[in-house]
Structure 1
Amino acid sequence: MATEAGNLSQISEFLLLGLSEDPREQQLLFILFLVMYLVTGLGNLLIVLAIVTDARLHTPMYFFLANLAFVDICFTSTTIPKMLVNHVTGHRGIPYAGCLTQTFFFIWFAGIDSFLLGAMAYDRYEAICHPLHYATSVTPQLCSLLVGASWSAAFGNALTHTVSLTPLSFCAHNRVPHFFCDLSPLLKLACSDTFLNNVMVNTVGTLTVIVPFAGILVSYTCIFAAVLRIPSKTGRQKAFSTCGSHLSVVCLFYGTLIGVYFNPTSAHTAQKDTVAAVMYTVVTPMMNPFIYSLRNKDMKGALAVLVSRKLAFIQ
């Protein structure tokens, strides 16, 4: 379990303590997380298929939404399956390399989510504040560029944090009070100096979270100002309804993410961090399909057509 490295013993695996030590609670949590994972995967997959197969949804807004749904499937698949396997096998261990790999993909997909939400806010800003120039300003080429930049920037951020973890020594402390390998609890376990890691969390990490969030705030400030100038009440309601879904997801995602990573260290507890992590790693990706489909007539229509086709094919 540990190998000697100079005067320190470097651990070879971490133990993920999960969400509860009570066997009955573990059974309940296993069923709950399995159901949420299946709902998340199916819901987001339906969103992607509906957008791909319905020509009416081949617009920038739905292009970003399809990418967000795909990333959410990858995001939840980074953490939940390992947790479920650990419960079934009764073994909570994860190899050192596997832990770093999980951390990398978790940070990568979380970063992509953050940038995509920023891109979607820009899309809504152009659609509402500059409707006459929307078709020429938000082009397919620009959409592809924004999505590609989101993947690339998030990759660089994830790689930076993961590489900075490799020189750290964890000695004999390998019990992670979490259900996956997250950056914050790993840094707390390290017995070597983590000053540089914390600096990077507050600089590189800030660029990934705060910059898109600031862009969203600026976009929606302009959007609300433009909507309030619309003379018709029906027009204002329609404009607000197109933004309601996105705002709901933004509040869920950024509220918990900022609460975990950008609070003072003294305000952190393992229980609070774990609850917040469940919100943005499990609950938010699961809720996204419901939020976007239930508040959107075009999406509901596309999903109804898709489901009816599949049922007809099965019969």
Structure 2
Amino acid sequence: MNYISLQTCFNRVLLAVIALCCFSVVGDKVHAQSTNPDAPTPVRANTITAQIMPLDVGDARLTRHFYRFSGAQGDLVITVESQNLNGGIDLFTANGLRPLTQVVLYAAGQTTTRASKSIYLRQPEELMLRIEARSPNDDPGSYRISFTGVFVAAKSDETNDGSATTEQSESPNVATNDNRRNARRVSSVGARIETSEAGRREENATVPATESAAAVTNAPATTPNEISPTSDEPTPVASPAPRARRGRTSTARRAAARRRSSRPAPATAARRTPTRRAPPAEASTDETTAPTAPASQPAQSPRLIIETRDGARLERPMSSVRRVTVDNNQLVIILNNGKVERQAMTNVLRFSIEP
């Protein structure tokens, strides 16, 4: 009888130890899931197993997990087994986030769905895997991803770096949220979570202490030696109050500024006088040269020149001539104003258009 009771106790203790080991392993796996795309979880084995918990009612967001691994040149096969999950699995290149393939997840109750995708890598690549899914009901969902082919696991140093960066990125947010005064906790949907009076008292007691410590550290340290470099005159040894020091330093600064402004004033005035007189000289030269330029413009316009045998010379600007023709042995000139001039060809000695 005693032997049976001892055996039963031993079995119970053994089951408890096994259960604790299982919970610790599951806890480590869940903690290792990275939700930050800048610090994905390195994959050290060819199989990934994780669980996605259901969200609150009305919360339509998706849970995202990010993993990082490498692939050599050749075919990479990805096999996905999911249960009670809706979403998708995307594979990108770590450099540039170029999409390579996608696997769609459909929830079929408690039935496990399986899908497989194969891609060909032309060269060794650093890859990033994104799982984006959610449970359609109140039951948790799970997935299991297997890699075959040219899969290359991440090294141990990459895992340590990734975990360290994840912990560093998450820890400051928790500290700032806990130290906020009159902060209220809410669920993922936005519903308020009531806190006890004891917790509020502790938060109100810790926040003023941290604020006072920050004020002491940020307060500027003032020493009497700061006054000596700014003042030119000797200062008294004993200063009764900080207000008196401020007044003396301000007066000393004003006196020094007046001296500096009064000394270089004649030099600056002498230097600026030639520069102010220079522009009128340039303007005068421009005024003298400006009228001479338009004088050559009228000679460039073409003119109609007709010389007759009796010594007469007719000149008409081409801008005022509409047409010049020869009709019935006569030179006919039609002007823009409608006037018509005729000259017999036998009487014309020279006819030309010159500038």
TM-score of the superposed pair, with normalisation by structure 2: 0.23
Query: Which structure carries more relative contact order (alpha carbon 8 Å, separation 6+)?
Result: 1
Larger Cα Rg: Structure 1 or Structure 2?
2
**Greater share of strand residues, 1 or 2?**
2
**Greater share of helix residues, 1 or 2?**
1
TM-score of the superposed pair, with normalisation by structure 1: 0.25
